[in-house]
Amino acid sequence: MQDQHTDIPSAENPARFTGITLSEPKNTAGGIPAVVSALRHIVAETGWVRGLRALSKLNQKSGYDCPGCAWPDPDDERSGLAEYCENGAKAVAEEATTRKIGADFFSKNSVFELSQYSDFEIGKFGRIATPLYLAEGDTHYRPISWEESLEKIASELRSMSDPNEAIFYTSGRTSNEAAFLYQLFVRAFGTNNLPDCSNMCHESSGVALTESLGIGKGSVTLEDFDKAEVILILGQNPGTNHPRMLTALQKARRYGAVIVSVNPLREAGLVGFDNPQDLRGILHMNPTLTDLYLQVRINGDLPLLQATGKLLLEEERQTPGKVLDMEFIESNSVGYTEYAAHLNKLDAQELAEQAGLDFSLVLELVKILRYKKRIIVCWAMGLTQQENAVDTIREIVNLLLLKGSIGIPGGGTCPVRGHSNVQGDRTMGIYEKPPQALLEALRREFAIEPPVAAGYDVVESIHAMHAGKARFFMAMGGNFLSATPDTLYTAEALRNCTTTVHITTKLNRSHLVHGKSSFLLPCLSRSDRDLRNGKEQFVSCENSMGVVQASKGNLEPISSDLLSEPEIICRLGQGLLTKYPAIPWKLFSTDYDQIRESISRTIPGFEDYNRRVREPGGFYLPNANRAGRFTTESGKAGFHISKFKPLMLKAGELLMMTIRSHDQFNTTIYGLDDRYRGIRGERRVILMNEQDMQELNLDPHEVVDIYNFEGGRERVARSFIAVPYAIPRHCTATYFPETNVLVPITSVAVKSNTPVSKRVVIQVRKTGT
């Protein structure tokens, strides 16, 4: 349900249709259509000259890191033609656009009027060209100088009786240098309230991997894909979310790897791939990727993994020493005996049924894994945004430990991160639960007294703002409102703040659902040149596989009134935190090498940072798991026992998972087409099993409202088109952020506190009933 009062800016996308066209879903991703789509977006936003200039340096060793996903670049030679994918080109088109908005635009458009546009339309207005301020009671943003805006923000922070009344959010596109400065600023101010987008995506991975293996990162490199015998992909759609991964999968398959995909939807990018840079791809010759496709029910991954583990134990009993790596298990792990005893009590056929699969398909998976050791398991949000996410990921680790598949070439864990530096931000200290070693290092380097108490994560921050415990919200990038659950509850939380501040490149809905006063501080993007005192600066990022590399933009900024993220933080710190003279804010703002020198002395693995990051392709951070070591308390990897609890749906209830369209990256909407799923021109759709539609007496393409009633509260998303689709019984899929309004703030993953966006209990009713 949208906001009730007509004078309050809308927190939701407007419930209007934009014109749907349906066709058969595709079985192959990429190909010439991907090239055409990429060029169409680039030319529309930037023109040919600026666009090709931007693309020429994208993901190159002397260029800048893609502002999209965190898939790694090749260590060796990179394609001079295009070391990027369709959606990477779209991401660059969005930020390199020549469209810009400033004083005239905001004088003509009130905040309320702007909120009536969709997120897609808001994003297409262009880059913000000047700092903006919305005073309490005002209806329009107005230009403000950098000096005045930063002084007002500093004044608001000075007025707080408790630093914990302030919350500082970070998006995954923030560079290492900016992230390091941001967490330093926040801790010097006196709080650990550093929620970030990791809380909403791979927090479950970090918790599970740390508990089981000692570190919260994956263990494989891109080179390992060339050596793998089996690649198992769960809860991930690389064709849309990480398209460059398809090249690695195709190469691995040609080298002999067997690929198994597990997903409730049959996704084109998992079924097949036409590489547009390869003649075979252009000619559509043998695009097949997946050898075995397991279309599980929503949240069927855990019982599938347990059934697989149980059957592998049975295979080992029949052929001792052939199936499991008992030498590895005995030397490198704890908890195997208890884990095996737990699995032996389970019924594999019953687990397969709970997963929504025919038992013969589970047997086929076991046959593939039986005598293989070099196994990589990849996963993404389909696993992490579940209530039992931590258990599911620990079950992945259990499987790999059974096979001795961690710490070897061609084997290991591969959580595929979403945003391009979300892993680097965490490495730099963006974390509400900082390790003691980091706090000691900051104390030693900067003579500050950082707080030790844990701060708020994303969900806790929303609750704190809603309850009035926090009154200042600052976001380093991102679209907090559209990325978070329970949209109307979160909107109320943001409106309770006295001040909201956004460091941003473009306008989004979070800027329109604001505190009593609000600031928009426009910053440089990844593709922009960053000159400080006539010297060209660069930043750095960490990808999904722990490679840190330089990133230097090559485009002229669209406005002379933009500052870099590091400079914004430094100028704010210089004006506010005068009691810490050992923090050289002015020096940091003019020479990023000085930031990296401090990082090298405070963050493990970054020794000699300035020299190593200048090496073409960057450098790998240390990874104990990759080296076959486990930094747990016992010094060994741990098997864990999990109990799957099937969700019992009542009559008329269904499960919903939120997904991206192909014209989308996180909350940024590039267009209105979901080409691979055969849906064009419309986002307000719900994909449903045809039998479920018949039981609910729904005709194909009927307009429905979607409800959730968790906690006794009615949540409703109005006006969606019911589309019959090949999805398991009682399962549905919808795009976010349109249906985030249905995701309860109270439904979170155990231990990680990640919102459960992939298993929402809903009811679907015809509109007007």
> Which CATH number fits the domain that encloses residue 665?
2.40.40.20
Which amino acid is residue 761, in one-letter code? V
Whether residue 685 contacts residue 25, with contact meaning beta carbons closer than 8 Å, is answered with no
Burial class (CB in 10 A: 0-12, 13-18, 19+), 639: buried
pLDDT in tens, 432-482: 999 999 999 999 999 999 999 999 999 999 999 999 999 999 999 999 999
Which amino acid is residue 215, in one-letter code? I
pLDDT in tens, 369-411: 999 999 999 999 999 999 999 999 999 999 999 999 999 999 9
Helix (H, G, I), strand (E, B) or coil at 328: helix
pLDDT category, 79, cuts 50, 70, 90?
A: confident
The secondary structure element, H or E, covering residue 134 is: strand 132-134
| Residue 644 within any structural domain of the chain | no
Q: Which of 204, 210, 211 is nearest to 335 (CA)?
A: 211
DSSP output for 263-279 = -SS--HHHHBEE-TTSH
Sign of CA dihedral 202, 208, 214, 219: negative
Cα three-residue angle 481-486-487, rounded to 5 degrees: 40
| Residue 566 within any structural domain of the chain | yes
Q: Which of 568, 566, 725 is nearest to 657 (CA)?
A: 725
| Residue 4 within any structural domain of the chain | no
pLDDT in tens, 235-270: 999 999 989 999 999 999 999 999 999 999 999 999
- In the DSSP assignment, the letter for residue 713 is -
| Residue 80 within any structural domain of the chain | no
The pLDDT score that the predictor gives to residue 16 is: 95
| Residue 72 within any structural domain of the chain | no
Residue 432, C-beta contacts closer than 8 angstroms, at least 6 positions apart: 192, 193, 194, 195, 199, 454, 455, 456, 457, 460
Residue 51, C-beta contacts closer than 8 angstroms, at least 6 positions apart: 42, 43, 45, 92, 93, 96
Q: Are residues 101 and 155 in the same domain?
A: yes
Q: Which two tokens stand for residue 566?
A: 């590091």
CATH code of the domain in which 250 resides: 3.40.228.10
Strands (E), 497-580: 499-504, 517-522, 531-532, 535-536, 539-542, 547-551
Q: Are residues 654 and 756 in the same domain?
A: yes
Give residue 122's domain range: 97-198+429-616
The pLDDT score that the predictor gives to residue 172 is: 86
- What mean pLDDT comes out for the span 115-127? 97
Please state, in angstroms and rounded to a whole number, the distance separating the CA atoms of residues 90 and 635.
45
Q: Are residues 503 and 396 in the same domain?
A: no
Q: How many residues does the chain have?
A: 769
Whether residue 720 contacts residue 734, with contact meaning beta carbons closer than 8 Å, is answered with yes
The pLDDT score that the predictor gives to residue 315 is: 97
The pLDDT score that the predictor gives to residue 267 is: 97
Please state, in angstroms and rounded to a whole number, the distance separating the CA atoms of residues 169 and 614.
29
Q: Which two tokens stand for residue 729?
A: 């019984």
pLDDT in tens, 697-744: 999 999 999 999 999 999 999 999 999 999 999 999 999 999 999 999
**How many domains in the chain?**
3
Evaluate if residue 283 carries a pLDDT over 80.
no
The pLDDT score that the predictor gives to residue 152 is: 98
The pLDDT score that the predictor gives to residue 278 is: 79
The secondary structure element, H or E, covering residue 698 is: none
Which amino acid is residue 618, in one-letter code? G
The pLDDT score that the predictor gives to residue 3 is: 53
Please state, in angstroms and rounded to a whole number, the distance separating the CA atoms of residues 504 and 522.
5
| Residue 600 within any structural domain of the chain | yes
Domain closes at, from 385, 415, 445: 415
Q: Are residues 496 and 601 in the same domain?
A: yes
Q: Are residues 411 and 434 in the same domain?
A: no
Cα three-residue angle 450-455-459, rounded to 5 degrees: 160
Which amino acid is residue 613, in one-letter code? V
Residue 28, C-beta contacts closer than 8 angstroms, at least 6 positions apart: 268, 271, 272, 273, 274, 284, 287
Domain closes at, from 381, 415, 449: 415
pLDDT in tens, 597-612: 999 999 999 999 999 9
Whether residue 429 contacts residue 81, with contact meaning beta carbons closer than 8 Å, is answered with no
Number of H helices, E strands in the chain: 31, 32
- What mean pLDDT comes out for the span 123-152? 97
Whether residue 58 contacts residue 722, with contact meaning beta carbons closer than 8 Å, is answered with no
pLDDT in tens, 658-703: 999 999 999 999 999 999 999 999 999 999 999 999 999 999 999 9
- What mean pLDDT comes out for the span 53-66? 90
- What mean pLDDT comes out for the span 627-641? 96
- Distant-in-sequence contacts of 487-493, Cβ < 8 A, 24+ apart: 487/11, 487/12, 487/737, 487/740, 487/741, 488/1, 488/3, 488/11, 488/12, 488/715, 488/741, 489/462, 489/745, 490/11, 490/462, 490/745, 491/3, 491/11, 492/466, 493/462, 493/463, 493/464, 493/465, 493/466
Whether residue 514 contacts residue 134, with contact meaning beta carbons closer than 8 Å, is answered with yes
The pLDDT score that the predictor gives to residue 1 is: 43
For the chain, give the mean pLDDT.
95
- What mean pLDDT comes out for the span 274-279? 81
Q: Are residues 564 and 455 in the same domain?
A: yes
- What mean pLDDT comes out for the span 204-219? 97
Please state, in angstroms and rounded to a whole number, the distance separating the CA atoms of residues 13 and 128.
21
What is the percent of the chain with per-residue pLDDT over 90, rounded to a whole number?
90
Q: Are residues 407 and 474 in the same domain?
A: no
| Residue 466 within any structural domain of the chain | yes
- What mean pLDDT comes out for the span 653-658? 98
Q: What are phi and psi of 546, to 5 degrees?
A: 80, 20
Q: Are residues 523 and 458 in the same domain?
A: yes
- What mean pLDDT comes out for the span 636-646? 95
Please state, in angstroms and rounded to a whole number, the distance separating the CA atoms of residues 741 and 656.
12
Q: What are phi and psi of 523, to 5 degrees?
A: -120, 165
Whether residue 9 contacts residue 112, with contact meaning beta carbons closer than 8 Å, is answered with yes
Q: Are residues 723 and 687 in the same domain?
A: yes
Q: Are residues 353 and 314 in the same domain?
A: yes
Q: Are residues 287 and 356 in the same domain?
A: yes
- For helices 146-158 and 565-576, the axis angle rounded to 10 degrees is 50
| Residue 85 within any structural domain of the chain | no
Burial class (CB in 10 A: 0-12, 13-18, 19+), 604: exposed
pLDDT in tens, 165-194: 999 999 988 999 999 999 999 999 999 999
The pLDDT score that the predictor gives to residue 734 is: 98
Q: Are residues 155 and 256 in the same domain?
A: no
Please state, in angstroms and rounded to a whole number, the distance separating the CA atoms of residues 721 and 14.
14
Which neighbouring-strand residues pair with 56? none
- For helices 32-46 and 86-96, the axis angle rounded to 10 degrees is 0
pLDDT in tens, 741-764: 999 999 999 999 999 999 999 999
Evaluate if residue 52 carries a pLDDT over 50.
yes
Evaluate if residue 2 carries a pLDDT over 70.
no
Evaluate if residue 4 carries a pLDDT over 70.
no
The pLDDT score that the predictor gives to residue 613 is: 97
Whether residue 208 contacts residue 393, with contact meaning beta carbons closer than 8 Å, is answered with yes
pLDDT in tens, 99-118: 999 999 999 999 999 999 99
Please state, in angstroms and rounded to a whole number, the distance separating the CA atoms of residues 254 and 246.
12
The pLDDT score that the predictor gives to residue 7 is: 82
Domain closes at, from 594, 616, 638: 616
Q: Which two tokens stand for residue 161?
A: 């009786």
Evaluate if residue 8 carries a pLDDT over 50.
yes
CATH code of the domain in which 514 resides: 3.40.50.740
